[in-house]
Structure 1
Amino acid sequence: MQKSTLLLAAKALALSLSIAGAGGVAPATALAASGLPTLGDGADLSVSAERRLGDSIIRELYRDPDYLDDPVLQDYVQTQWQALLAAARVRGELSPELDERFAWEVLLGRDRSVNAFALPGGYLGVHLGLLGVVSSRDELASVLAHELSHVTQRHIARLLAQQSRQTPLVLGTMILAALAASKSPQAAQAITVGGQALAVQNQLNFSRDMEREADRVGHSLMAPAGFAPEGFVGMFDKLQHANRLNDNGSWPYLRSHPLTTQRVADMQARLPLQTTREVLAPTLEHAMLAARARVLSRPGVDMLRQWLAEPRSHGFAQRAPHQQAAALYAAMLTAIALHEPQQARQWLPRLQAVTQGDVRAHTLAQWLGAEVELSARDAAAAWRLLPEQGREDRPGLLLRAQIALSLGRAAEMVGPLQTWVSTHPRDAGAWQALASAWQAQGQTLRAIRAEAEAHAARYDYAAAVDRFKAGQEWARKSSSAQDFVEVSIIDTRLRAVQALAKEQAAALR
């Protein structure tokens, strides 16, 4: 079944801004020190206007059936993204205004195509297809660094400023159309007509200098962020190989970021000669998460069956540890998808043995074991497999909350979830988990508010307003003792979100 035009358009928007680039100029001090020219500062489009446009686009992407909130993969990508952001701050590439005003959020898409894209307002989209093919955390970081540099250099603002006579709605449609082309050229042609099509083509033609600038700035962020700059060369090798195979459409990143011999040579020249061909070994964590991305991208039953059988293949025990870890992880996750938990259970001891000594990889193995037991509806076994509570990151927190809810122990998760959303107010998944925990305890009013906050976190302000009003109505009709503090919070948040809804509607006129 084909997606609706709107959802295809939402995908198109993202790639067009990736095509168009996504940032502005490097700080004058940094460029002066390097002796490199600037490309302009994007001043014709205000930071606030760019953020509003990004918010309106991202709301549609959150509604896309391909949107995926997988806490494990989300945490991995977001951690790398934050490390690169920190490096950009230290190097002066990220201005205080952009740092404060932009969202800096990462969205994952279940799409199997190899693609990533920047959007107005500091949003980043990453397809599972990209996560599944990169060989190391450093290759993934090179893509993220490149896209981040589009944003910090305000390439999007400069390109949108060229279309300043268009309304935000038309600009958004043009951008969406280009992203739709990564999946359906026919859909893109249906959306992109007349002068709009010409505008998108102009963006494509204008991207080469931006691509080189994003390479240069992105490369400078790698080492300060804790990644090997060789990741750029490794990723370019993959893109070159795809070029030689006459890109069959699964590599839209090649069309949005055309690979030239000049770009490849420039990246290789930035590395010491003896390391330009160095192959970066994947960590156990990366190998396992790349396997997770491949399975969650829904490749089809035939491929899943192959992955399920792989740990039994001849010579498996002689493979490198990261290859064994990836295959075992994929087989277990595949067994969950095929509703065969017993098959998954038999591989867990081997996965735990392979990952022993690697704290992060071993934690991933324990989480996956708990997921297996949850799929088998044995919440008690899932709880026993969870790592000891200590530093609670998002994947562990949400998994623990899900298991606790199944065990009738939701009350003990309310405190940790409230603490989390107080510092991460835009985490829709955590708000939804908190809503479930409150509902399980009969605290309906609080559950309704948490549901409203989940909608607001995804910029669906109309739905949030509806839920806040539902909370007000429930409070008026309830015969139980009123939580006046909660009612006051709902009244205050309703007014704030109504104001945001008006701003959102005005931004599209």
Structure 2
Amino acid sequence: MRDVRRDPAFLDDDPILEYLNNFGSALVAAYPGARGETGADFYFFAMRDPMLNAFALPGGFIAAHTGLLLAAQNESELASVMSHEIGHVTQRHIARMIGQQKQDALMPLAALILAALASKAGPDAAVGVMMGGQGLQIQRQLNFSRDAEREADRVGFQIMGSGGYDTSGMVGFFQRLQTATKVYSDLTPPWLMSHPLTSERIADIQARIRETPFRQRVDGLEFHLVRARARVLQDVSTQGLIDATKVFEFQLTNQSRQQQAAAQYGLALVALKRGELTKAGDLLAKARATMKPAAGAVFSTGQSTSDAASMFASMSLEIKLAPGQPASMAPLTVKEAEQAYQQFPLSRGIARQYAKALIASGQLDKAAVFLREQVRLYREEPKLYELLAQTYAAQGKLSLQHIALAESYVLSGAVPAAVDQLTIARKAPDASFYDLATIDARERELQERVKEEKKENKER
């Protein structure tokens, strides 16, 4: 996961990360056995990749490609994929696969011994035995992979049903997947595929749907706004922004207010990426107005109560904190950020935007107090330590700046760089006796970790 975070394809976007983790956590909470026997803590994230895919890593880390977010037409389809990946973690498929691979590792050795014995009958017999042993090993791995996918489908079906989603969304997504991979699947024999045939998976889920009552699910606006963000952030090149603009302009012709608001929101993000800040603010205001209910309006039963207020607030702050805004706006931005933080105290992105607003306005003491409180509550966020280091640097507190940077590097997996930062902090002229004691204790701990990592790398 440390390698993933350093990958340029890792989509480190707060609104998307918050949506995926709220969405995924709700699915996990709805299904009592979702955490499995290991009691896994789940973390959901996105990768910049147009391929229609998602994957799970050991420990409950689940990724969704931006191509998947754009392909899913509703939240039930997205829930079907996320639930499937949760199923892989719940059933410990990765750990079981590693266990089987260790057992299968003996097959080539056994084949080698048998080939040596068969060589008496001729070289062709020896080659045949060797190839047969390798083929058996590969086939066992493929069989395990297909069985794991079927099991994840069944567990995922139960999870998304428990979460209140329309289970037919799994069929809809499989059909879209079948269309996207038609050429590949048509050319590959079923016994050489790592996944079951998509048609087989569709038939299995359709049989299960017939035994469950129909459940309609109305999507929240956040889903559409997240898809708009994913479309823009998947490719922020000049051509990528042009292509996204064309999609959003066509989307404006849709009769759905959610689709229109999402298109305006997406166009606002495109304008922000181009540095057109006034235009971005105007388009965001239009998106908010589009979703504002008319006087006396009554929503039908099942209408989503979500108004995506936190995403609109975050986007507004994103525009006001962008480079190029006049310094005179800083006090108003702080006020808006403080109100947003009070309204959405659980939003980690808005909390960091509030800290950035304080730093930009020169309220460094207040920013330092707020950030120190935040790092006590959320110890695993490297961005908080980066902001704290930025605050200390502006205050001229060099020792504390490098100590904070060291913690940021540790959380990002760059332990040797963290040790270097502690060395710089020790040499800082303003290092107090307490700072030096903290540096010494932390440095010893990190040096032990560096030794362990080197030992693990050698063993690999």
TM-score bucket of the superposed structures, by smaller chain:
0.7 to 0.9
Deviates more, 1:497-506 or 1:399-408: 497-506
Q: Which residue does the alignment assign to 2:220?
A: 283
Match of 1:366 among 294, 309, 313: 313
**How far apart in 2 are the matches of 1:214 and 1:452?**
40
Q: Does 1:388 align with 2:340?
A: yes
Q: Which residue does the alignment assign to 1:496?
A: 445
1:279 CA displacement: 7.7
Q: Which residue does the alignment assign to 1:465?
A: 419
1:394 CA displacement: 0.5
| SS in structure 2 of the partner of residue 164 of structure 1 | helix
1:457 CA displacement: 1.2
The answer to whether the 8 Å contact 1:139/1:232 transfers is yes
Match of 2:14 among 63, 68, 71: 71
Q: Does 1:133 align with 2:71?
A: yes
Closer/same/farther in 2, CA of residues 471 and 209 from structure 1, 3 Å limit: same
1:158 CA displacement: 1.8
1:296 CA displacement: 0.4
**How far apart in 2 are the matches of 1:264 and 1:471?**
59
1:462 CA displacement: 1.9
Structure 1: runs of 5 or more not aligned: 1-57, 168-194, 249-254
**How far apart in 2 are the matches of 1:208 and 1:71?**
35
| SS in structure 1 of the partner of residue 64 of structure 2 | strand
Q: Which residue does the alignment assign to 1:353?
A: 289
The answer to whether the 8 Å contact 2:34/2:86 transfers is no
| SS in structure 2 of the partner of residue 206 of structure 1 | helix
**How far apart in 2 are the matches of 1:231 and 1:318?**
22
Closer/same/farther in 2, CA of residues 486 and 227 from structure 1, 3 Å limit: farther
**How far apart in 2 are the matches of 1:240 and 1:152?**
26
| SS in structure 1 of the partner of residue 349 of structure 2 | helix
Match of 1:401 among 351, 355, 359: 355
| Structure-to-structure mapping, 1:26-45, within 5 angstroms | none
| SS in structure 1 of the partner of residue 379 of structure 2 | coil
| SS in structure 2 of the partner of residue 270 of structure 1 | helix
**How far apart in 2 are the matches of 1:311 and 1:458?**
35
Match of 1:326 among 262, 278, 294: 262
Q: Does 1:431 align with 2:385?
A: yes
**How far apart in 1 are the matches of 2:203 and 2:272?**
44
**How far apart in 1 are the matches of 2:286 and 2:218?**
21
**How far apart in 2 are the matches of 1:318 and 1:104?**
36
1:336 CA displacement: 1.5
The TM-score normalised by the length of structure 2 is 0.77
Deviations 1:76-124 (A, max 9, x none): 1112232333345x237522xx22xx56333432222222211223322
Match of 2:29 among 65, 73, 86: 86
Structure 2: runs of 5 or more not aligned: 106-132, 187-192, 294-304
Closer/same/farther in 2, CA of residues 396 and 84 from structure 1, 3 Å limit: same
| Higher relative contact order, structure no. (Cα contacts within 8 Å, ≥ 6 residues apart) | 1
1:245 CA displacement: 6.4
| Structure-to-structure mapping, 1:96-245, within 5 angstroms | 98-99=38-39, 104-164=42-102, 203-244=141-182
| SS in structure 1 of the partner of residue 288 of structure 2 | helix
Q: Which residue does the alignment assign to 1:55?
A: none
Larger Rg: 2
Q: Which residue does the alignment assign to 2:241?
A: 304
Match of 2:279 among 295, 320, 343: 343
**How far apart in 1 are the matches of 2:432 and 2:165?**
50
**How far apart in 1 are the matches of 2:139 and 2:392?**
51
Identity of aligned residues (%): 33
1:429 CA displacement: 1.9
Closer/same/farther in 2, CA of residues 162 and 311 from structure 1, 3 Å limit: closer
The answer to whether the 8 Å contact 2:313/2:340 transfers is no
| SS in structure 2 of the partner of residue 126 of structure 1 | strand
Alignment RMSD: 3.3
The answer to whether the 8 Å contact 1:107/1:124 transfers is yes
Paired letter, 2:284: L
The TM-score normalised by the length of structure 1 is 0.71
1:401 CA displacement: 2.0
The answer to whether the 8 Å contact 1:355/1:361 transfers is no
Q: Which residue does the alignment assign to 2:299?
A: none
The answer to whether the 8 Å contact 1:93/1:152 transfers is yes
The answer to whether the 8 Å contact 1:136/1:280 transfers is no
Closer/same/farther in 2, CA of residues 437 and 256 from structure 1, 3 Å limit: farther
1:360 CA displacement: 4.6
Closer/same/farther in 2, CA of residues 416 and 340 from structure 1, 3 Å limit: same
Q: Which residue does the alignment assign to 1:186?
A: none
